[in-house]
Chain A
Amino acid sequence: MAEPLLEVDELTVDYLTETADVRAVDRVSFRLDAGEFLGIVGESGCGKSTLLFGMTQLLSPPGEVTGGSVVFRGRDMVRLSPGELRNTRWRDYSVVMQSAMNALNPMKSIGAQFKDALEAHGDPSAEQIRQRSVEVLGLVGIDAAHLRSYPHQLSGGMRQRAMIAMALLFTPQLVIMDEPTSALDVVAQRSLMSKIKDLQRSLGFAIIFVTHDMSVVSRYSDRVMVMYAGQTAEEAPTDAIFERPLHPYTRGLMTAFPSVTGPRRELAGIPGAPPDLVRPPSGCRFNPRCPEVMPVCRSREPELYVVDDADVRCLLYAERPAEAR
């Protein structure tokens, strides 16, 4: 098997506060091949953003990576020195944040912000900067005239696209996106997702796409990882997860949103609320909300089990441990 672009192994992130240590990301592992699109789905507080921040050394105290490794192009990203990090960050991978409104500098024009990024990784001429900036704006379908615009002069959808243009300045191999569409209206959301997928097809970069909305990733991702309470609940190819969700939580998520087509049916949702990670439930972390809970779920902690091409953390599938791979 070819070397993966990114291999996350047992990554653990703790928030070390005075009163309690909270394990926000608990031994999460996954691999990503070049050009692959991985969707990470989970509810607020499940650790999905912390996972991204941990991978990219963007955590601020009290958050801290306390275990595991993130090997990207042969180097462990969580152990890079600030100098090495500065070198590779944005050139080899880039991050698109949830709210472009806050990620762009309101005091600088779009062009000036592109220039800053380009100059941080080389010594381009004014003409090269202009050329590249016009080029990436063209990629996301924004008129070059907007290089002189300030963020407040752009609509939410355009800001988010400008942010993606900025992430593509160096044609990185990996673009990490943290809910880039959740602040947008449905039509703008759909259009942005199609744009992202088109760019990925033509430029060949890999994407890690974090979202709380299962329906956003369903049409675009190659694989989906569902997170619950800091852990991987299920990871599988997108088609498999939509056709045959294995984890009761994944099944709950699939039936939690109403559809605009087909018959109107009663939605159950998932009763209860996500657990408090200061005191996670014993055994399986989903057991207090699980419709298929068994007595053993309250005492035994499930591992990841392999079922066909999926990994699932649920005792229903306990007879096939993941180590057998």
Chain B
Amino acid sequence: MADEPLLRAVDLTRHFRLGGMFEKQVLHAVDDFDLTIHEREIVALVGESGSGKSTVARLLARVYPPTRGEIYYRGRPIHTLRSRRALSWYRGEVAMVFQDPFSAFNPVFRVSHGVMRNIALHRPELKRAQRQPEAERVCQSVGLGPKMLTRFPYEMSGGERQRIGFAQALAVRPKLILADEPVSMLDVSIRAGVLNMMAGLRDQEGVSILYITHDIASARYVADRVIVMYAGHLVESGPTEAVLGDPRHPYTQLLLSAVGDPREKVELISSDTGEPPRVINPSEGCRFRWRCPHAIEVCGQVTPQPMPVGSTQVACHVAAPAPQGLTGPAVTTKT
């Protein structure tokens, strides 16, 4: 399997049942979501809150199993990993970094605790005496001095803690880091440092990163590829410059127009109030259709599938009509 990517998810679906025993309310957090991550690649997963992007990360980390669909890691379906040993192997290959650096650490331990523990658990090839130098090395690769290891979490700033979060993840020598909003709790002035560190980890340590964010500008800054999610569906994916330079899906266009450039003057975009999508017992059809300025009849009947448009994949009946039948008027200009 020469072309097998590092990680591949096919038809990934996760539903949550709501309410009591007799209620039939089902929340569709993620539906039929495909994802590939190659080696040495930063993939940004962009979407607003409730779009299912954190659920994807938790599915990949095996926090809970998918309702349907399969995740292949190096060609191996991960639901077959059942033994303690196999799971430990997977967790040593795929590590996670959390959003909130203020609650992700045990306050009674020095930060060396988490790093050393990960080394002891996942790096059996290292002798006891080699663990400390290795801990110092991962600390340095996230831009912190070795002295930081002796500190307690409360002695560190938010940016330093988030770097320690990455150091802990790196200590297991992973191939893939799932980073769930790693910079959104940090101050603006130190975000750039963490983003640059992520790019450095890809270039020097050769790890891949799934960078989950709602900040499309930072996705553009670090990511090689971008996947835009809306209401549990993939709406657009492709190389960063292709997706963000020439967005085809109306939702991607809306997201980009909402960010704009802070140095530009106000020009009001639309009356869209940013209401989040409803994904409890959703009906068939495009989930963006209520907010979409281009919605046509078919959008309410058939769920659009991702179709190739140039170098990107777009799930939209208008921007990327299905090849046979079910056609709508082609839209070439933005309104």
Per-position 1/0 for B205-227, Cβ under 8 A of A: 00000000011111011000000
Per-residue CB contact flags for chain A residues 249-273 toward chain B (1 = under 8 Å, else 0) read 0001100111111101011111101
Identify which of B27-35, B91-99, B261-269, B310-318 touches chain A.
B261-269
Contact status of A273 and B159, CB under 8 A, knowing A187-B255, A214-B262: yes
Q: A219-B264, A219-B266, A269-B196 are in contact. Are A256 and B189 (CB under 8 A)?
A: yes
CA distance A258 to B259 in the complex (A): 11
Give the complex CA separation of A162 and B311 in angstroms.
Answer: 43
Residues B262 and A190 in contact, CB atoms below 8 Å apart: no
Return chain A residues, CB-CB under 8 Å to B282: none
Cross-interface CB contact of A260 among B49, B188, B195, B256, cutoff 8 Å = B256
Query: Assuming the A-B contacts A215-B262, A270-B190, are A258 and B220 also in contact, with contact meaning beta carbons closer than 8 angstroms in the complex?
Result: yes
Inter-chain CA distance A44–B161, complex, in Å, is: 15
Residues of B within 8 Å of A57, CB to CB, are: none
Judge if B158 is at the interface, Cβ distance under 8 Å. Answer: yes
Q: Which of B187, B189, B214 neighbours the largest number of chain A CB atoms within 10 Å of its CB? A: B189
B255 proximity list for chain A (CB < 8 A): 186-187
Q: Is the CB of B191 within 8 A of A186?
A: no
Interface presence of B322 (CB below 8 A) = no
A190-B273 Cα distance, complex, nearest whole Å = 8
B273 touches A269 (CB 8 A): no
Contact, CB under 8 Å: A212 / B188: yes
A187: which B residues are within 8 A, CB to CB? 48, 254-255, 258, 272, 274
Partner of A185, one of B160, B268, B269, B274: B274
10 interchain pairs, CB-CB under 8 A: A185-B48, A186-B216, A186-B274, A187-B254, A192-B274, A212-B188, A256-B189, A258-B195, A269-B192, A274-B187
User: Is B140 an interface position by the 8 A CB rule?
Assistant: no
Residue A317 at the chain B interface, CB threshold 8 Å: no
Choose from A44, A184, A219, A242 the contact partner of B187 (Cβ within 8 Å).
A44
What 0/1 pattern do residues 194 to 222 of A give for CB contact below 8 A with B? 10010000000000000011111011100
Known contacts A189-B274, A258-B217, A260-B217; is A270 also within 8 Å of B261 by CB?
no
B32-50 Cβ-contact flags toward A at 8 Å (1 or 0) = 0000000000000000110
Evaluate contact between A218 and B263: CB separation under 8 angstroms.
yes
| Least Cβ–Cβ distance between A179 and chain B, in angstroms | 13
Query: Which of A185, A218, A266 is the one whose CB lies under 8 Å from B262?
Result: A218
* List of 7 A-B pairs having minimum Cβ-Cβ separation, nearest first: A188-B274, A269-B192, A215-B262, A187-B274, A267-B192, A273-B157, A185-B48
Question: 6 new A-B pairs (CB below 8 Å) besides A257-B191, A264-B221?
Answer: A191-B274, A194-B268, A216-B262, A219-B265, A257-B262, A267-B192
Cβ < 8 Å to A, chain B residues 113-136? none
- Complex CA gap A271/B190 in Å reads 7
How many residues of chain B get a CB closer than 8 Å to chain A's CBs?
A: 43
CB distance from B115 to the nearest CB of A (A): 20
Bound-state Cα–Cα, A294 to B48, Å: 44
Chain B residues contacting A214 (CB-CB under 8 Å) are: 188, 262
Chain B residue contacts of A186, Cβ below 8 A: 48, 214-216, 255, 258-259, 274
> Is A92 an interface residue when CB atoms closer than 8 A count as contact?
no
A158 to chain B, nearest CB (A): 8
Q: Does B308 contact A (CB under 8 A)?
A: no
Cβ of B214 and Cβ of A141 under 8 Å apart? no
A251 to chain B, nearest CB (A): 11
Residues of chain A in range 42-66 having any CB-CB distance to chain B below 8 Å: 43-44
A residues engaging B (CB < 8 A)? 43-44, 141, 155-158, 184-192, 194, 197, 212-216, 218-220, 242, 252-253, 256-262, 264, 266-271, 273-274
The CA-CA distance from A72 to B232 in the complex, in Å, is 49
Name the residue in B188, B259, B264, B265 with the highest tally of chain A Cβ atoms < 10 Å from its Cβ: B188
Report the Cα distance A132→B133, complex, angstroms.
68
Cβ–Cβ contact A190 & B256, under 8 A: no
Contacting residue for B273 out of A141, A213, A220, A259, CB 8 A? A141
B217:A212 contact, CB within 8 angstroms: no
Determine whether the beta carbon of B195 is less than 8 Å from that of A197.
Answer: no
Q: A187-B255, A187-B274, A274-B157 are in contact. Are A256 and B262 (CB under 8 A)?
A: no
**Within the assembled complex, what's the spacing in Å between the Cα atoms of A231 and B163?**
28
- B3: CB under 8 A from chain A? no
Which residue of the partner chain A has the closest CB to B220? Answer: A260
- Contact, CB under 8 Å: A242 / B263: yes
Minimum CB–CB distance from B153 to chain A (whole Å) comes to: 14
Check if A220 sits within 8 Å of B266, measured CB to CB: yes
Contact A267 B221 (CB under 8 A): yes
Inter-subunit contact B196/A197 (CB<8 Å): no
Minimum CB–CB distance from B262 to chain A (whole Å) comes to: 3
**B193 — nearest CB in chain A belongs to which residue?**
A269
Q: Give A155 to B275 CA distance when docked, in angstroms.
A: 7
Is there contact, CB below 8 Å, between A219 and B262? yes
Which residues of A sit under 8 angstroms from B190, Cβ to Cβ?
269-270, 273
B244 on interface, CB distance cutoff 8 Å? yes
Within 8 Å CB of A213, what residues of B? 188
With both beta carbons as reference points, the residue of chain B lying nearest to A242 in the complex is identified as: B263
In the complex, chain A residues whose CB is within 8 Å of the CB of B260? 190, 219, 260
